[in-house]
Amino acid sequence: MIGLSKKEENIMKLKKFAALLLAGAMTLSMAACGTGGSGDGSGASGAGTGGSSNNTSSEASGGASGGSSNAVSMENAECTLEMWCIATESDSNRHSYEAAIDEMKTEYPNITLDWEAFENQSYKTKIKAAVAADEMPDIFFTWSCAFLGDFVASNKVYCLDDAYQEYKSELPEVMMGNSTYDGKHYGVPLTMNIVGLFANMDLLKEAGYDEIPGTYDEFIKCCDALKEKDIIPFGCAGSETWCVTEYLESVIEKSIGADAMNDIFLGRATWNNPEVAAAVDTFQSMVNNGYFDPNGISLSNDEVKANFMAGKYAFYMNGTWNCADFANDANFFPKVKVAEFPVINSDKAELGQLIGGPSDTLAVAASSENAAIAAKYTFELGKRICHYGYLDGCGLPAWTPYGDTSSVNALTQDVANICNAAKAYVLFGDTAMNADEANTYLDYVAQVYGCKVDGQGFIDGLTKDIR
């Protein structure tokens, strides 16, 4: 932005965000997990949300939000709210939560927020147990689409329709899509993220590359060149299968296209697709060619990320929330660049087809004694978490950004540019599918990474095991 005045910079940023929001609109029209699509997203499973989405929260919304929350004023309310989230000390989002909560304390001193953060995997267990036992906190972190959908179908989540009216201008309807069920809003989105191909440019330079290769053939040549230099091209945490999906889903998407992939994830088409099998074989050939760290299968994502930042791997495909951690490491940050995975089959796929979308969400328990106040508080808090999260580089904003955003790190700005050029999004598979199907899917993904099944085995197994 050298040579531009502050005003011009701001105008450029506004343009970027307008484009970003359009991309978001595309996301949700493709993912269609929400409005009318609750059945699609979570309901492909029959027993999941879809089966019960007809009675989805009519009671919760009718009962719990019956009294218009617009009539509730947070300024006059005296209460204590409890919140659970996953922003632990080591989480990239920790600072954004702390900053947002501090701001809320100053602005609403009459409302006390008791908040606790839990480790990601154990939180999934904890929140489900709490929902089952009706012991939910007033406000809770959740993933959108099928994960939240199950709670909504059980009438455990407070409908946010009334509270949302006040924030419509700041939080576009399209960003609410993944937490909308039967036309009702149940979640406040925070940030949105995509899968990014992060590269250690120092290692690429050793292999003779100044930029991340833009075509698949060049990309494979680059991997071979890296191997010749005894540099491991990819790091992938096999002990956390969602990390493998970041690679596999990108390969499948860039082989069969976003539309076909959305159809499969959302239950509109079966897994019995030979093109998927071929894409899985492509991924597996990368594993068999030694492009992946063979020890990665026993490593956690934290360990793999640490290895990448320590210069062990040339590439790391993972969520763009990692931009915050990369930006915070002064030594590593100048070395890292981000790009999207190259197109494998240009007849079916194209650049701009991305994996990701808004998933991190805050929701309010229907059982909360102060649900109406909690709803408003959640919107205000969510807006601030989104703001600080964006400034920290934890993701792109689901809310219309406000204030000075010039300090956003260059890597996150690159991600914003990738999203500006987005043509379609496919939501993360384990978020789009209901819990049972998602775990069956993850089981097969793990087997693909371990070369226990090939592409044909993958589609045969999923066709048989996913209803």
Partner 1 sequence: MKNKTYKYVTVFLFLLPALILFIGVLIAPIVMSLVYSLFDLRSVSTEGMEFIGLGNYKELFTSGSISFWKALGNSMLLAVLSVFIQLPLALGLALMLGKGIKGERAFLSIYFLPVLISTVVIGQLWRKIYNPDYGILNAVVGSGLMPQGGWLGNESSALWCVFIPTLWQYVGYHMLLMYAGVRSVSPELREAAKLDGATDGQVDWYIVIPSIKPILRVSVIFAITGSLKSFDLIYVLTNGGPYHATEVPSTLMISMLFERNRYGMGSTIAVLMIALCFAFAIIINAVFKERDIYGKK
Task: Enumerate binding residues for partner 1 (CB under 8 A).
Answer: 47-48, 51-52, 124-125, 128-129, 131-132, 150-151, 153-156, 238-239, 294-299, 303, 307, 312, 434-436, 439-440, 443, 446-447, 450, 452, 465
Least Cβ distance, residue 151 to partner 1 (angstroms) = 6
Least Cβ distance, residue 370 to partner 1 (angstroms) = 22
Least Cβ distance, residue 280 to partner 1 (angstroms) = 16
Least Cβ distance, residue 372 to partner 1 (angstroms) = 23
Please say whether the beta carbons of 385 and 194 come within 8 A: no
Residue whose CB is less far from partner 1, 215 or 295? 295
CA distances from 101 to 70, 168, 261, 399, 400 (A): 22, 22, 38, 17, 19
Residue whose CB is less far from partner 1, 151 or 283? 151
Interacting residues of 406 by C-beta distance below 8 A, sequence separation 6+: 9, 13
Residue whose CB is less far from partner 1, 176 or 446? 446
Kindly state the tokens that stand for 161.
């329709």
- Cα separation, 379 vs 363, in Å, equals 9
Least Cβ distance, residue 49 to partner 1 (angstroms) = 9
Residue whose CB is less far from partner 1, 392 or 430? 430
> Taking Cα atoms as reference points, which of 416, 392, 435 lies closest to residue 44?
435
- Cα separation, 441 vs 430, in Å, equals 8
Residue whose CB is less far from partner 1, 219 or 234? 234
Give the 3-state secondary structure of residue 259: helix
Q: Calculate the CA 25 to chain-centre distance.
A: 15
Least Cβ distance, residue 156 to partner 1 (angstroms) = 7
What burial class does residue 376 get, using C-beta atoms within 10 Å of its C-beta: 0-12 exposed, 13-18 middle, 19+ buried?
Answer: buried
The percent of the chain in helix, strand and coil, each rounded to the nearest 5, is: 55, 15, 35
Residue whose CB is less far from partner 1, 214 or 290? 290
Residue whose CB is less far from partner 1, 80 or 439? 439
Residue whose CB is less far from partner 1, 54 or 346? 54
Least Cβ distance, residue 124 to partner 1 (angstroms) = 7
- Residue type (1 letter), 285: S
Q: Residue length, the chain?
A: 467
Residue whose CB is less far from partner 1, 113 or 136? 136
- Cα separation, 136 vs 143, in Å, equals 15
Least Cβ distance, residue 193 to partner 1 (angstroms) = 22
> Taking Cα atoms as reference points, which of 236, 273, 280 lies closest to residue 254?
280
DSSP 452: S
Least Cβ distance, residue 239 to partner 1 (angstroms) = 6
- Cα separation, 196 vs 32, in Å, equals 22
Q: What angle do CA 56, 60, 63 make, to 5 degrees?
A: 135
Least Cβ distance, residue 412 to partner 1 (angstroms) = 29
Residue whose CB is less far from partner 1, 138 or 392? 138
Residue whose CB is less far from partner 1, 95 or 312? 312
Beta strands at 180-181 and 139-143: parallel, antiparallel or unpaired: unpaired
Rg, C-alpha atoms of the chain: 22
Least Cβ distance, residue 198 to partner 1 (angstroms) = 19
- Cα separation, 359 vs 395, in Å, equals 11
Kindly report each contact of residues 405-409 with a partner whose C-beta sits within 8 Å and lies 24 or more positions away, as own/partner. 405/13, 406/9, 406/13, 409/323, 409/324, 409/327, 409/333
